[in-house]
Structure 1
Amino acid sequence: MAKLTQSFLRAIENPGSYHDERGLMLRVRANGTKSWILRYQLNNRRHDLGLGSFPMVSLKAARLAVDTLRLELSQGIDPLSKRASLIQNEQASKAHAIVTFRLEAERYIATHRQSWKNVRHVQQWSNSLRDHVYPLLGEMPVSHITTERVLDVLVPIWSTIPETAFRLRNRIELVLDAAKARMLREGENPARWRGHLDKLLPRQKRVKVPFEAMPTDRLGPFVRRLDSMDSTAARACELLIYTACRSNEVCNALWTEFDLAAGIWTIDAARMKAAKVHRVPLSMGAISTLEQQQGKHPVYVFPNARRSGSLPGNAIRRVMEDLVVGDYVPHGFRSTFRTWAAEYTNYPKEICEMALAHALENKVEAAYNRGDLLDKRRQLMNDWATFISVGAMINLDLETTD
């Protein structure tokens, strides 16, 4: 039989606990508030579960709630544990709702940037997302991103800038995979290509366009003009040509890497594309270029204008643009070197490829040939420097590229 009545509930003011039936009771506090409690035992332990305040929860509603909870108890369900789980899921849902694609992408970049060898790779990630993805998806919760939203990003650029579009698709997929791993979204990845977007977007014909390389007969006159420029970027361009190294390897060069007396430049594996230490034999032309940089900075061979770090990655290209040499790019000098080695010398292919820090194509040969052929490569680089200096005596109009 019920012990509590509506009139009693409205009238009672003395603090205490007033029992009804089946573990239901009303708790009256000193400040006058009244709240419903279900007291039950589970696994020989007593538990009190709040059911709301009176009169917002009526006596009838409280009794109906007790009936439901007692039924769950008979099925082995702990109401307190169930409530805690519901609260946790609700909090997780709210947290997921406020983690936007921009936040998750920035987290992904920050997490993986140390494993990316090239600083340009970090910039490419950030810039491409900023220009093409963030305007549409940046403020959208990662849990809400669907196939339609991904297509909104990709369709407008899929045919006009296909290489960028394909890389963006992969980057979106990686960010959303990371979000799923962090329990921020569920289901299939809407940016997945195979078996998903490949059915919704036309297959691209991705043609690799080689870097514009300066012809060998134009190199000497270009170096002569370069030598007349009094700038750090011009000296960096000279060293890049003499050593056939990559722009980032040259621009970020440190004095601690050089042994000018021995004529060796040792580039740490962390700065190399192949993640292997690369020893570069220095010709007299390369050493002369380095000597011109001595005393300009204690750490960086080619410091930036503010002397706060190394030369920017695009500085060498700007020098080439200032000299108006057409569409040739810094990386193209590596192709120029390789063309010269093939057409003007008899050096074996493996020596030429090792000078470019390329891995040997034959894996068996690479496994057994663990030397770096430094002495033979030194002869090659000395011949290359001689070719450049002889060519520098030729008067050729570099502004004519036809």
Structure 2
Amino acid sequence: MVRLYASKKDVPFSAETGEEPGMLSHGRSAGDEEMRLTKRDIERASKRRKYSDGRGLFLSVSANGRKTWAFCYTFAGRAREMGLGSIDFLNVDEARDRAVHLRKMVRDGVDPMTDRNREAKVVVRRKVEGVTFKAVAERVIEMKKGEWSDDGKSETDWRGSLTNHVFPSIGATSIGEIDTMDVRDALKGVWSASPSTAKKLLPRVEAVFDYAIAEGLLSGDNPALRAKVKKLLPKLEKVHKPTPHKALDYADLPAFVRQLRARVGIAPRALEFLILTGVRTDEVIGATWDEVDLEGATWTIPAERMKAEREHRVPLSEPALAILRALPGEEGNPFVFISPNGKGKGLSNMAMLKLLKGDMGFAGEATVHGFRSTFRDWTAEETTHDNIVAEMALAHAINSKVEASYRRGDLFKRRKALMDDWAAYIDGTAA
């Protein structure tokens, strides 16, 4: 028979008495041997609950089926639960030996959790001496290099934002000495001067502290938790209201694309492809051939390259496919739109903007990002396509709960029809 305890109300071991309810005077409870967990009990335990092994030791099963040992006790009138580790690293005999040691600590008037935390802080202090925020940030960047495939853009962005806005104030400070107020003070200036930078910078600072905690250089809560830091700073939307991107009127778009097609080079093809697909600059210049299925007329952008961090399938119209089929390639270069300035690289993030504003003379009239607004205006005013289809074509976050329910699918067929209509409008072949 296995004893079950659903909550800390059922804690069986007491610091005050050193005994559990029903315990006999020689320290063993009636039927204690029968109540202990067997190996079969441990293997079969599957429901989300605590299974008692007796005298404060429990097998805890989580919602995802993970099994860990826990020691439950009361100390100074408070019920406490101390995790001992996974059954993968601590078998039942080892867990029982550990529980014997912890029960003795309780009887001796020592709180096991307080003692463990004190030891951990000593270890952390030894590790953290001389380890600065900047040193940890450098480790994070080196670690993340393996995740980035954008020709060094992310690394440059991370280093630049931290060097310019964070390192001057806390870069040389020991990671363990920095608190939430220090983080707040480091971000104060950029928060009001450049909210778009601040929005990216805070998660990066938080990631550095997360790494320090995982590495054992820091104990306790992350001092750069976004929810906490944001409470100490004004709301970004109140500090700065972004101005909309300049956008070309959709009535002028077919003529613009004709001008674009008359130009030679990678940048004009990339910009036309961006217009036809409705995506963002980073998504185009970061596109690699392994994301593209020419036969299936689909471009699948992985979640890590999307602003909403959600995989996005893009239906490719015939004009978009024609661009891809005609692009020059470079052996060993994975990028769809290769750089004309260096082997193995993708197109620069400034190439399309330079083409639009400088070479084509649209400075002050249009932006690269603005073509998404052009597409959205055309959809709303000239078509009968549903709002949700257009929003999903742009990979926008859906705020409406009703519309969000569509997220169970991606409306790919309906989005394909929309993008085909868009291509036909641009070409001047729309019915």
**Same-fold call, TM cutoff 0.5:** yes
Residues 163, 377 of structure 1: CA spacing in aligned structure 2 closer, same or farther, 3 A cutoff?
closer
Of 313-322 and 360-369, deviating more is: 360-369
The one-letter code matched in structure 2 to 1:304 is: S
Contact 2:250 2:374 in 1 (8 A): yes
Match of residue 79 from structure 1: none
Q: Deviations over 1:24-53 (max 9, x none)?
A: xxxxxxxxxxxxxxxxxxxxxxxxxxxxxx
How many residue pairs end up in the alignment?
306
Q: Deviations over 1:330-383 (max 9, x none)?
A: 222112111110011111223222322346555566556755444433332222
1:96 aligns with 2:128: yes
Scaled by the length of structure 1, what TM-score is found?
Answer: 0.62
CA distance in 1, matches of 2:145, 2:378: 36
Contact 2:329 2:338 in 1 (8 A): no
Match of residue 248 from structure 2: 214
CA distance in 2, matches of 1:91, 1:262: 56
Tell me by how many angstroms 1:163 deviates. 4.3
Of 279-288 and 240-249, deviating more is: 279-288
Match of residue 108 from structure 1: 140
**Aligned mate of 2:347, from 304, 308, 311:** 311
1:135 aligns with 2:173: no
Tell me by how many angstroms 1:153 deviates. 2.9
Match of residue 293 from structure 1: 327
Residues 240, 150 of structure 1: CA spacing in aligned structure 2 closer, same or farther, 3 A cutoff?
same
Match of residue 59 from structure 1: none
Q: How does 1:3-402 map to 2 (within 5 A)?
A: 93=125, 95-111=127-143, 123-145=156-178, 149-150=182-183, 153-165=186-198, 167-180=200-213, 182-185=215-218, 191=224, 198=231, 205-206=238-239, 207-295=241-329, 299-305=334-340, 306-322=342-358, 323-327=360-364, 328-358=366-396, 361=399, 363=401, 367=405, 370-390=408-428
Q: Deviations over 1:28-79 (max 9, x none)?
A: xxxxxxxxxxxxxxxxxxxxxxxxxxxxxxxxxxxxxxxxxxxxxxxx9xxx
Q: Greater relative contact order (Cα 8 A, min sep 6): structure 1 or 2?
A: 1
Residues 384, 368 of structure 1: CA spacing in aligned structure 2 closer, same or farther, 3 A cutoff?
closer
Q: Deviations over 1:95-137 (max 9, x none)?
A: 4222111111223344566678988665443321011122332
The one-letter code matched in structure 1 to 2:248 is: M
Contact 1:137 1:149 in 2 (8 A): yes
CA distance in 2, matches of 1:382, 1:195: 46
CA distance in 1, matches of 2:123, 2:310: 47
The one-letter code matched in structure 2 to 1:382 is: D
Q: Which runs of 5+ in 2 are unaligned?
A: 1-107, 109-119
Tell me the secondary structure at the aligned position of residue 352 of structure 2.
helix
CA distance in 1, matches of 2:379, 2:184: 47
Percent identical residues: 39
The one-letter code matched in structure 2 to 1:96 is: V
Tell me the secondary structure at the aligned position of residue 299 of structure 2.
strand
Tell me the secondary structure at the aligned position of residue 159 of structure 1.
helix
Q: Deviations over 1:137-186 (max 9, x none)?
A: 22332133356754653344443334434654554344335434544346
Contact 1:239 1:289 in 2 (8 A): yes
Scaled by the length of structure 2, what TM-score is found?
Answer: 0.58
Contact 1:251 1:311 in 2 (8 A): yes
Contact 1:117 1:271 in 2 (8 A): no
What value does the CA root-mean-square deviation take over the aligned residues? 4.0
Larger Rg: 1
CA distance in 2, matches of 1:158, 1:247: 25
Match of residue 32 from structure 1: none
The one-letter code matched in structure 1 to 2:327 is: Q
CA distance in 1, matches of 2:400, 2:190: 39
Q: Which runs of 5+ in 1 are unaligned?
A: 1-75, 77-87, 392-402
The one-letter code matched in structure 1 to 2:269 is: R
The one-letter code matched in structure 1 to 2:393 is: A
Contact 2:128 2:176 in 1 (8 A): yes
Contact 1:211 1:332 in 2 (8 A): yes
CA distance in 1, matches of 2:409, 2:304: 19
Contact 2:183 2:229 in 1 (8 A): no
CA distance in 2, matches of 1:152, 1:165: 13
Tell me by how many angstroms 1:315 deviates. 2.6
Residues 143, 260 of structure 1: CA spacing in aligned structure 2 closer, same or farther, 3 A cutoff?
closer
